Amino acid sequence: MSFENLNWLTIAVYIIIFGVPLILAITLHEAGHALAAKKLGDPTADDQGRVTLNPIKHIDPLGTFLLPLILFISKAPFLFGWARPVPVSYNKLRTLPRDIAIVAAAGPFANLILIFISALVFNLGPLLPNALQEPFALMIRFSIQLNTVLICFNLLPIPPLDGSKILMALGPRPLGKFIYEMERFGMFIVLGLLLLMPALTNVLGYNPLFVFFQAAFDLVFQMVEPLMKLHCFNTRSQACGNLL
């Protein structure tokens, strides 16, 4: 997408289309971690006001906005960012190591819920003016894709991603200890893998992450498509035709 030939109104529309799903996805993901920790006995995140749907409490200015914007403008081969990590005091959780896995899984689970909510909200498209139906459909599609990416990416067993914490909690103790010690280097490991992806793509002839995410997109859309078609029994709206 090139912004050179777009007017300010069009740019504002694109910001809404992509910005609203992004903020919602990040907010619910982090709030899910915080709520799960609170329910399982750790009030650390709640004491810091993280059990909330207020996005300001979860957004990291550098990781959520500045870095992705720089990567986008520089036409980097990937986009990467993060929200403010939710603090969790493992020693305050009631049942270890099970509760560590539950808290870690709560974020991706919140994104899964948002996927189904997005699919249901899509049925409101016919109630909108015709000019808004296509942008609305695009926003819903992006919401489903974004939350799918967040689920798949965060469940990778690489520190400090959620999948590593689940593996740390449920795997053998030596593996859990290794993951815990590697977590301090986790961000560098993730960035290193992303930087190596273009070279790996040249060797394999395809991008493994792209193939992985595309398969996930196909599976998720197959799951939610019946929910997105509820309004199609009575009408074939422009939004329905464009997206489905």
Write the pLDDT tens digit of every residue in 155-173.
999 888 999 999 999 889 8
Computed over every residue of the chain, the mean pLDDT equals 86
- Looking at the structure of the chain, the number of domains it has is 1
Asked if residue 3 belongs to a domain, the reply is no
| Share above pLDDT 70 across residues of the chain, in percent, rounded to a whole number | 89
pLDDT tops 90 at residue 54? yes
Q: Tell me the average pLDDT across 131-160.
A: 92
Could you tell me if 158 and 190 are in contact, meaning their C-beta atoms sit under 8 angstroms apart?
yes
At CA 61, angle to CA 118 and CA 59, rounded to 5? 40
Largest CA distance in the chain: 59
Asked if residue 90 belongs to a domain, the reply is yes
Asked if residue 80 belongs to a domain, the reply is yes
Return the number of other C-beta atoms located less than 10 Å from residue 117's C-beta: 15
Asked if residue 71 belongs to a domain, the reply is yes
Q: Would you call 30 a catalytic residue per the annotation? A: yes
**Residue with tokens 């709030």, as numbered in its chain:** 31
CA distance 185 to 170: 21
Return the number of other C-beta atoms located less than 10 Å from residue 147's C-beta: 26
Q: Which domain holds residue 72?
A: 8-243
Asked if residue 204 belongs to a domain, the reply is yes
Could you tell me if 13 and 72 are in contact, meaning their C-beta atoms sit under 8 angstroms apart?
no
Asked if residue 172 belongs to a domain, the reply is yes
| C-alpha pair distances (Å), 70 with each of 16, 67, 118, 180, 237 | 19, 5, 28, 31, 37
Could you tell me if 29 and 57 are in contact, meaning their C-beta atoms sit under 8 angstroms apart?
no
pLDDT-derived band of residue 77, with 50, 70 and 90 as boundaries?
Answer: low
Active-site entry in 30, 134, 183, 225: 30
